[in-house]
Structure 1
Amino acid sequence: MTAPVLAVHEVTKEYGAGDARVRALRGVSLTVDRGDYVAIMGASGSGKSTLMNILGCLDVPTSGTYLVDGTDVGALDERRLAILRNRKIGFVFQSFNLIPRMSALANVELPLAYGGVRAGERRRRALAALERVGLSERVHHEPSELSGGQQQRVAIARALVTAPALLLADEPTGNLDTDSTRDVLTILDHLSVGGRTIVLITHEDDVAEHAKRVIRLVDGRIVEDRRNAPVDGPPPRRAGVGA
């Protein structure tokens, strides 16, 4: 039986000590199966950003266990944790996090370069990823020459290029206008239809409606975990990077 992509059990996170102690997460447990599309919601201070950092292996819990694609994150040293992040998790951030003086193609190649992939293979996979997000004509443009929506599509291509087990998106439409938001959500919908496992953080109900499942946090606890009603999704696209 295939292990879930994410398995979180009784995870807590505390900051500070004594009277200054903050309990950001209070015994969070959840599993995310392969191919699921999950939106994590919550008000400011609910713990959603803390949970996102732990799911992305950017922070460690105070207690509890967390497995990514069957691997116990708590058992890894820094080197192996960095390898797992690079190979298993694709990140999409609200602020894009592109390197300013590098082309779209070079930005997308970066995770492969860190992973030791040869130049020719890096180029082939990066071009395929950019084609998948509709940017074949913008591969040599730098971020300053791209709109916000195009920059976010480059970031999605960069996240996909390693064929990760999980696509983790933190407020991916937060800095976008209505048209660009629609374009990015359409890409995520297509990826979900193609079997990609996606977890996104959002505070917007209309964004969360695209997910198959919505998890809501309040004061560091999960208070709701529901499946969205099935809707007619976009037609499957041809196989591409990581499909």
Structure 2
Amino acid sequence: MSVIQINGLHKHYGDGDSQVRALDGVSLTVDQGEYVAIMGASGSGKSTMMNLLGCLDIATLGDYLINGINVKDMSENQLAQIRNRYIGFVFQSFNLIPRVSALGNVEMPMAYAGVPARERKQRAMAALTMVGLSERALHLPNELSGGQQQRVAVARSLVNAPALILADEPTGNLDSQSTADVLGIFDRLNDQGRTIVLITHEDEVAARARRILRMKDGKIVFDSRAEVVAA
């Protein structure tokens, strides 16, 4: 089954001679259980791709189906529901709520989804245990290291059992040991069948993925899966 199905996706900014084609007719399929890294220089379109995959923005033209659901023409409220139900986000800047404990941060997506309080706590603790932070559950973000904060963010991304984990430069603010810890968690999650799409400019991070896409001028110019098939 395809978690991501993109057909002729365009994203344009501006009009006339000043128009910028941030995405220029991209088509892509990502199947359930794949681990994909999207790479490219600044201005290549990878950030625009991340925003569209995460339903944080809408395309100018084309179709994007996540788990078989076409998000074209959806309202902001409908897109918010899609994000909460089908997508787990991990950002470079962690995006944790400062005055809320690690446990509370992990519970947050479930609160939006209407999960009862007792179940929220159980599932959040299970997710923190999975990333090795159960003993830090009641600590505030400023009482955790950067690597620990990112592991809380990974736990938060898991609790609604999303179809897709979307990670945007997830190791950009981490030291080498914390990077290794977080990437090890992604490896284990993918081994368990989770679908992961990771945006990165770092070759060593992309190398952990099982499929690498490279973008340039709003197009996918390299797909390692296509190269393997062609070989």
TM-score for the superposition, normalised by structure 1: 0.92
Alignment counterpart, residue 203 of structure 1, candidates 194, 201, 215: 201
Q: Which residue of 2 aligns with 1:235?
A: none
Counterpart residue number, 1:68: 66
**Deviations, residues 153-174 of structure 1 (Å, cap 9, x unaligned):** 0000000011000000000000
Residue of structure 1 in register with 2:79 after alignment: 81
User: How is 1:36-115 mapped onto 2 (pairs within 5 angstroms)?
Assistant: 36-115=34-113
Shift of 1:71: 0.2
What stretches of structure 1 of length at least 5 have no aligned partner?
231-243
- Mapped to 2, the partners of 1:65 and 1:228 lie a distance apart of 21
Q: How far apart are the structure 2 equivalents of 1:149 and 1:73?
A: 33
Residue 215 of structure 1 is matched in structure 2 by 213
Provide the secondary structure at the position in 1 that maps to 2:224: strand
Aligned position for 1:165: 163
Alignment partner of 1:190 is 2:188: yes
Residue 147 (structure 1) aligns with? 145
User: 1:18 aligned to 2:16?
Assistant: yes
Q: Distance in 2 between matches of 1:103 and 1:88?
A: 24
- Superposed displacement of residue 17, structure 1: 1.2
Q: Secondary structure at the match of 1:131?
A: helix
Q: Distance in 1 between matches of 2:226 and 2:37?
A: 10
Conserved 8 A contact 1:214-1:228: no
Counterpart residue type for residue 121 of structure 1: E
TM superposition shift of 1:84: 1.1
Partner of 2:174: 176
Q: May I ask how many residue pairs the two structures share in their alignment? A: 228
Separation of aligned partners in 1, 2:74 and 2:58: 11
Whole-angstrom CA distance in 1 between matches of 2:206 and 2:227: 12
Deviation at 1:77, TM superposition (A): 2.5
Residue number in structure 2 paired with 1:237: none
Between stretches 202-211 and 19-28, larger displacement belongs to 19-28
Q: Which consecutive segments of 4 or more residues in structure 1 shift more than 6 A?
A: none
Distance 2:20 2:227 in 1: 36
Letter in 2 for 1:5: V
**Whole-Å Cα distance in 2 between the matches of residues 228 and 111 of structure 1?**
36
Report the counterpart of residue 239 of structure 1 in structure 2: none
Q: Select 1:129's aligned residue among 112, 121, 127.
A: 127
Gapped regions of structure 2 (runs ≥ 5): none
Kept in 2, the 8 Å contact 1:212–1:228? The answer is no
Query: 1:37-69 deviations in whole A, cap 9, x for unaligned?
Result: 000000000000000000000000110000000
Q: Percent identity between the aligned chains?
A: 66
1:229 Cα deviation from its structure 2 partner:
11
Residue 75 of structure 1: how far off its partner (Å): 4.1
CA–CA distance in structure 1, aligned partners of residues 73 and 67 of structure 2:
14
Equivalent position SS for 1:74 = coil
Amino acid at match of 1:158: R
TM-score (norm 2): 0.96
| Aligned partners of 1:48 and 1:217 also within 8 Å | yes
Task: Tell me which amino acid in the other structure corresponds to 1:98.
Answer: L
How many angstroms apart in 2 are the aligned matches of 1:29 and 1:208? 21
